[in-house]
């Protein structure tokens, strides 16, 4: 169910337990081209951890201030909590908060997953109003998980007038059978982004739970990144920013001075596992990490220009 989070309707949305949309952008406002410079973000809020998941208003309040400061076009969030998203809505006028609850897999299969305080657990997209997004143009894609704590999903919101889609995904961590599940999940992400959203400008934020040079990430990185890449997207958090290969001006500096484009600063104690992927037509102008005392993940931010990069995408 999709419902506005306001007044008495919010209670119905909470009871329904389905997709919850907070905000008021009906998609009826005059729309313009999506061209321009924007900030986009990715953040795992750690609602599923014992250290941070028991927190209350302090977690969403702090993140709301970060959003107000950076004024992003959108932020993809994982391990978010339904009550945290309600709080974000209150603190972020001019933004819509889209919460999608997930369900348990290995334990109590099919029951609603919960944060480490009594509220639903899931994935979220926060996007700016007035961009042509509509509550009728949202999709939840099940990723075919076979093992792990939850059934993994990717939630997306579309602006049909701008042919723009923003998505949030959270893949299964771990090795062995969990890696096999993650490989199936990323294959589904790749298919959805290149087939279902063919012709759209794609902005994906995700906790992929794997390192940049892994086989899992091969499916997302554009082939020009090399090292086995066979995807169709540019990585906005790369140390090469908009480039897919390191620039080696005149090649006078030693190779060790160049950071591989499939790398980056750690976003978690396990390394770099959080990413923002964009269509090749998007130009990446800069990126940075932000610290949060309320999560075990760092925030990933990128400044992008839509309509300013290489045109076209490859499946």
Other beta carbons within 10 angstroms of residue 257's beta carbon come to: 9
Instruction: For residue 129, give the 3-state DSSP assignment.
Output: coil
Round to whole Å and give the CA distance between 220 and 212: 10
Q: Which residue, chain included where needed, has tokens 């006078």?
A: 252
Least confident range of 46-60, 62-76, 288-302: 46-60
User: Per-domain residue ranges for the chain?
Assistant: 34-246+258-306
Question: pLDDT tens digits for 162-200?
Answer: 999 999 999 999 999 999 999 999 999 999 999 999 999
pLDDT at 252 (0 to 100): 54
Residues 29-60: pLDDT tens digits? Answer: 444 578 899 999 999 998 877 777 667 799 99
Interatomic CA distance for residues 86 and 98, integer angstroms? 10
Which residues make Cβ contacts (< 8 Å) with residue 295, sequence separation at least 6?
43, 44, 45, 46, 52, 59
Whether residue 208 contacts residue 217, with contact meaning beta carbons closer than 8 Å, is answered with: yes
107-132, pLDDT tens digit by residue? 999 999 999 999 999 999 999 999 99
pLDDT band with cut points at 50, 70 and 90 for residue 19: low
- CB-based contacts of 34, cutoff 8 Å, min separation 6: 131, 159, 162, 163, 164, 201, 306, 307
- List, in order, residues 6 or more apart from 177 with CB less than 8 Å away: 146, 147
Higher pLDDT, 140 or 134: 140
Coil, strand or helix at 70: helix
- Topology of the domain comprising 34-246+258-306: Deoxyribonuclease I; Chain A (3.60.10)
CA distances in angstroms from 225 to 131, 195, 229, listed in the order given: 31, 21, 6
């Amino acid at each position: 169910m999709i419902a506005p989070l306001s007044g008495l309707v919010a209670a119905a949305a909470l009871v329904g337990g389905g997709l919850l949309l907070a905000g008021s952008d009906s998609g009826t406002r005059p729309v313009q081209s999506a061209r321009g410079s924007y900030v986009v973000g990715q953040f795992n809020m750690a609602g599923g951890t014992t250290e941070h998941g028991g927190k209350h208003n302090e977690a969403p309040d702090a993140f709301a201030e970060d959003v107000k400061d950076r004024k992003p076009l959108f932020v993809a969030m994982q391990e978010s909590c339904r009550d945290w998203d309600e709080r974000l809505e209150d603190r972020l006028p001019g933004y819509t908060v889209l919460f999608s609850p997930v369900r348990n897999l290995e334990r109590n299969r099919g029951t609603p997953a919960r944060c480490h305080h009594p509220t639903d657990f899931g994935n979220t997209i926060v996007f700016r109003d007035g961009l042509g997004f509509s509550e009728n143009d949202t999709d939840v894609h099940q990723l075919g998980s076979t093992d792990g704590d939850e059934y993994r999903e990717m939630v997306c919101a579309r602006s049909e007038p701008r042919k723009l889609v923003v998505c949030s995904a959270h893949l299964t961590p771990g090795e062995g059978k969990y890696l096999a599940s993650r490989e199936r999940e990323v294959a589904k992400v790749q298919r959805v982004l290149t087939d279902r959203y063919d012709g759209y400008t794609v902005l994906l934020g995700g906790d992929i739970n794997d390192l940049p040079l892994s086989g899992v990430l091969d499916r997302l990185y554009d082939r020009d990144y090399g090292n086995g890449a066979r995807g169709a997207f540019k990585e906005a958090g790369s140390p090469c920013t908009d480039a897919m290969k390191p620039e080696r001006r005149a090649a006078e500096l030693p190779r060790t001075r160049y950071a591989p484009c499939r790398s980056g600063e750690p976003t978690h104690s396990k390394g770099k596992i959080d990413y923002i992927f964009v269509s090749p037509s998007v130009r990446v102008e800069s990126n940075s990490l932000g610290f949060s005392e309320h999560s075990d993940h760092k925030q990933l931010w990128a400044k992008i220009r839509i309509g300013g990069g290489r045109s076209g995408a490859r499946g």
